[in-house]
Structure 1
Amino acid sequence: MNNTFYKENNLSGLKRADFQKIVDGKETDLFILSNQQGTEVAITNYGGAILTVMVPDKNGKLANVVQGHDSIDNVINSHEPFLSTLIGRYGNRIAKGSFLMDGQEHNLTINNGPNSLHGGPTGFHARVWDAKQEDEHSVTLHYLSKDGEEGFPGNLDITVTYTLTGENELVITYVANCDKKTITNLTNHAFFSLAGLNNPTPTVDNNIVTINADFYIPIDEVSIPTGEVLKVEGTPMD
């Protein structure tokens, strides 16, 4: 595979040889994005997994701020298969692995209790994407999800571009087209730790997240929304 912009001495220390493998007849590889701010992002075309995001802090000290993997085998065999990968055809859960569209029931592969989760056990996270890198700032991945894959209707043609900007933004752009009416909900399941994944690995204990919401939707015992809309005020979420 042509990989002109790979850097042997990349900031993450990842080695291209550790990510080169033939999976389902297609090549996997390691791609490095970089900018003038000293930031580097490492990505593999297996599942579009983000492996590392090396970014300098205010003192110029580098840290990896995303949970990833150090080899293609670890990506494939991870006990957290969705970790920092592309998610599809449909992110999150579909209750009982079934949905109705235009009066027709579509039954999906079940992989999370009674539900279909993140597109199924061999969703986009477990596919080798075609990759093309034309500059050091971005890489474009392409995958054709065939009609009936994991139970979803239509041939879904997807292009995902990762771009590292000069302002240290990692932008992920999704474009999808289908030859049938279908459903899709694309995302990336990156796990960030903005304090850096150093030793010892930090916990969430000293992090504060604020969501400006007046209402929330509760979920049932299998993480499916109940349909209720409840007030945040006076609850543990307040």
Structure 2
Amino acid sequence: MAQFRSKPFGVTKNGEKVNEYIMSNPGGLAVSVLNYGCVIKNIFVPTKHGPVDVVVGHDTFADYENDFNSSSSTCCGAFVGRYANRIENAEFSVGGRKYQLEPNNGKNHLHGTFPRKIYDVKAFGDTLLLETESPAGEDGFPGNLKISVRYILTEDNALRMDYRVSSDADTILNLTNHTYFNLDGGGDVLNQKLRIYASRYLEGNNETCPTGSILPVDNTPMDFRAGKVIGRDIDTGFAQTTMVGGGYDHCFVIDRGRGASQSLCAWASSDKTGISMKVYTTQPGVQLYTANFLQDCPSPGKGGVPMQKYGGFALETQHFPCSPSHPEFPSTVLRAGKVFRANTTLRFFTGKQCGKL
């Protein structure tokens, strides 16, 4: 069974106390979580050479707060919403009414305020439960939300993230976790291997919003089905990668087996540390972001080292970006009185435990 301990981590500019909660299991996996933004601050994976922290982030709360309140926020490790990813033109309609949001990413709306909220925390068994509410009108969205995030640490070195949200009015919702991983424990991720179980991806425009076209990955740099090092095709002149800073910032449509609930969507590994990570989810898509602009982060990374381009990769399991603009996409409407549920599991292996990618 997981063990828990907590310690103070800082105070927000509004005077709210921030705590760090450390979960560890008998297998040697240790996960550090903040009650600010449900941030996953550290994941220490045991290896024969000692534990390796595979999460990109900051050492101090002041650095997180400075980062998350900047125009170039990384959302490092945070639980993201009300709408993860983009809403085109920062507007949507639900129930016959049009809503205007803050255009915080050019003319579009990106991610929202959940990364900057303080959550109530309970620890029991193998579970860390974080809860809060989002009042109607927050970020411009309708509906009073009740939000529950569970981080569950298993004995076989997996971290499961369960989301449960209810609303008292029709609204839209898209949730993800925005952890940047670096399985080497530092440096760039270009030589780390990645496999994505997706035959199709969403074509993006020059604002990283889907055009509506869902294209095959065949014979393009978007093809990760057989696994390859992340840097192999990252900047080859392919229009889709060039226009997002010479890298990936795209949503892949997960190949899902018939009747499957939680599907394997990605598998990453490092030859340097021997660490592998498999990602499973109930969500329909996974956004691969290769930290193309991480160097713009106003706060230093861990150890005071400046953040760097390609310093991590994010695998954001989610519904599709800009879904309100594309009724052919899976719906992100949450009806009044209904409950949204989703989960994602990160399973870690070392050495030969995971097999060969």
- TM-score bracket, normalised by the shorter chain, equals 0.7 to 0.9
Paired residue for 1:72?
A: 61
Paired residue for 2:5?
A: 6
Q: 2:158 aligns with which of 169, 172, 185?
A: 169
After TM superposition, give the deviation of residue 60 of structure 1 in Å: 5.3
Q: 1:222 aligns with which of 207, 212, 215?
A: 207
Query: Which SS does the other structure have where 2:172 is aligned?
Result: coil
Q: Deviations over 1:38-68 (max 9, x none)?
A: 12111110111111111112x2521101112
2:104 maps to 1:111: yes
Q: Deviations over 1:117-164 (max 9, x none)?
A: 012xxx1001111112235x3311111000010111000110101111
After TM superposition, give the deviation of residue 110 of structure 1 in Å: 1.4
Structure 1 CA distance, aligned partners of 2:60 and 2:174? 28
Query: Which SS does the other structure have where 2:169 is aligned?
Result: coil
After TM superposition, give the deviation of residue 70 of structure 1 in Å: 1.4
2:55 maps to 1:55: no
Q: Is the Cα contact below 8 Å between 1:75 and 1:81 reproduced in 2? A: no
Q: Deviations over 1:56-94 (max 9, x none)?
A: 12x252110111221211111125341111101110000
Name the stretch that deviates more: 203-212 or 177-186: 203-212
Name the stretch that deviates more: 217-226 or 207-216: 207-216
Identity of aligned residues (%): 37
**CA gap 1:82/1:207 in 2 versus in 1, 3 angstroms:** same
TM-score where L is the length of structure 2:
0.57
Paired residue for 2:22?
A: 32
Q: Is the Cα contact below 8 Å between 2:86 and 2:110 reproduced in 1? A: yes
Structure 2 CA distance, aligned partners of 1:34 and 1:211? 28
Structure 2 CA distance, aligned partners of 1:230 and 1:22? 44
Query: Which SS does the other structure have where 1:29 is aligned?
Result: strand
Instruction: Determine which structure has the larger strand proportion and give its number.
Output: 2
2:226 maps to 1:237: no
For 1:115, the aligned partner's letter is N
TM-score where L is the length of structure 1:
0.84
Structure 2 CA distance, aligned partners of 1:113 and 1:184? 21
Give the superposed CA RMSD. Answer: 1.9
Q: 1:134 aligns with which of 103, 124, 131?
A: 124
After TM superposition, give the deviation of residue 100 of structure 1 in Å: 1.1
For 2:114, the aligned partner's letter is F
Structure 1 CA distance, aligned partners of 2:20 and 2:87? 32
Structure 2 CA distance, aligned partners of 1:22 and 1:77? 10
Query: Which SS does the other structure have where 2:171 is aligned?
Result: coil
Instruction: Give runs of ≥4 in structure 1 deviating > 4 Å.
Output: none
**CA gap 1:210/1:39 in 2 versus in 1, 3 angstroms:** closer
Paired residue for 1:12?
A: none
Structure 2 CA distance, aligned partners of 1:209 and 1:36? 28
Structure 1 CA distance, aligned partners of 2:42 and 2:201? 33
